[in-house]
Amino acid sequence: MSEIYFDNGATTKPSDGVIKAMVRTLTEDYGNPSSLHHKGMKAEDYIKEAAENISKALGVEHSTIYFTSGGTESNNLAIKGVAEAYKRRGKHIIATKMEHKSVASPITYLRENYDYEITYLSINETGQINIEELRDAIREDTVLVTIMHVNNEIGAIQNLNEIGLCIKEKNANTLFHVDAIQSFGKLKINPKKSMIDLLSLSGHKFHGPKGAGALYMDKKVRLVSLFHGGGHQRGMRSGTENVSGIAGLGQATVEAMNQIQENMEHMKAIKTYFYDQLIDQIEGAHLNGPSVKDGAPHILSIRFDDVRGEVLLHSLESDNIYVSTGSACSSNRPEEKSPTLAGIGLGRKEIDETIRFSFSKFNTKEEADKVIVTLKALIPRLRMFTRK
C-alpha cells in the first residue's frame, strides 16, 4: 500500500518549487548575505525577496518582517521580547488555556522567574474564547494578549478582528500577538485590519522547510532581542541568516498565496468527505471541537469509543497511514493531558481515544477512501481487546 500522509498539522511535504529554491542557494548562491561581494549580495537578494513575499501576503511593509528558526523562536521572541521591553508599563499577560507549548512555556517562564501575572481565558466546547471574558480581563497593566489563530489540535478558528478591536478599545497600549503557525498560508490574515502588533509563522506548516520562520512586528512595537551578536536583521535577530531556509520560506509563501482559495476549498472538501464517510460507516466515532463547516480547512479531531489513540496511530502506521494523537510537539510526553482537549470538556479517557487527521493540498479523495476502509477493519479488532 502506498503512503498516505494525514499528519499535515505536524509538518507538510516541501513543494518541488521550495526544494528547487533551496538547492539553488546551497549549490550556487551560497554566499554569506553580510559579505560585501557579489556572492554575498546575491544571497541577500533571497532574503529581501522572501521578506517582500511575506509582507505582501500580510499587507504590511517588508521592513516589519524578521526571520527566525521557526514558530517556537518567533513566539518566544514576541512574548519575552515584549515582556522585557515593557516591564515598566506592567506585568500582566493574557492567553488562552489552549495555547501551543511554544507560547505556554515562555509565559510560564515569565510567571515563575519574573513575577508576571497570567490570566488564562477559558474556551467553550468548540474551542472559542468568550470576548466579554477577554474584555473583563484586560487591565491598565496588561502588556500583551497572545492568542492562537487556529488551534493545532481541534482546528478552532478565533475571530481576530473581534479580538483585536476588543483589546484596543479596552487598552490601546496592550499589544496583540497572534500565533498564526497553523493558519498562515491557509487562511487570509490582515494584521492591520485585525489590529495585530506581532504575528508568528513557520515555513514547514505550509510546504516550506523546517527551521525557517518569521515574526511580523509592527513598527511601533519595541522588543528586546533574545540574541546578542553581530546585529543582523536590524539587531533583532543576530546570527548569519539561514538563506536556503528563508528562500524556501519565501517560495512557499508565494505558492500558498497564489493558491490559497483553491487549497482551502480542496482541503475542506477532503476533510468534509472523510468526516461524512467516517460518521456514516464507523460506529462510535465522534468529532471534537468545532463543526466541520466552522473549523479550519485542514484539521479534524476524532475520538473513537474504546480505542486508544496511540494504539490506533501505530496500527495505521503499519499500513503506511500517518496521523497524530494531537500536537506533534507534545507527542513524546503522553502522560501530559492536552489542555485544549481538556478545555473543551473531554475527560482523560476521551482524550486518550483522540486522533488528529490533518490534510494538505496533496491529499486526495481516493486516499480518504483507503483510510476509511482501513479504519473499518482496524477499529472493531482493536475494540475486541479493549472491551474484554
The residues assigned a catalytic role are 329
Between the CA of residue 121 and those of 95, 284, 343, what are the distances in Å?
A: 6, 31, 10
- Strands of 111-242, DSSP E: 117-121, 142-148, 175-179, 198-202, 213-217
Strand order in the sheet with 142-148: 65-68, 213-217, 198-202, 175-179, 142-148, 92-96, 117-121
Say how far apart CA 21 and CA 13 lie, in whole Å.
15
State the cell numbers at 201: 509563522
Position of cell 485544549? 340
Angle at 98 between CA 96 and CA 99, to 5 degrees: 80
> For residue 148, what are the β-bridge partners?
179
> For residue 133, what are the β-bridge partners?
none
Q: Which is nearest to 104 in space by CA: 86, 124, 121, 127?
A: 121
Say how far apart CA 290 and CA 346 lie, in whole Å.
14
Q: What contacts 285, CB < 8 A, 6 or more positions away?
A: 278, 279, 302, 303, 304, 305
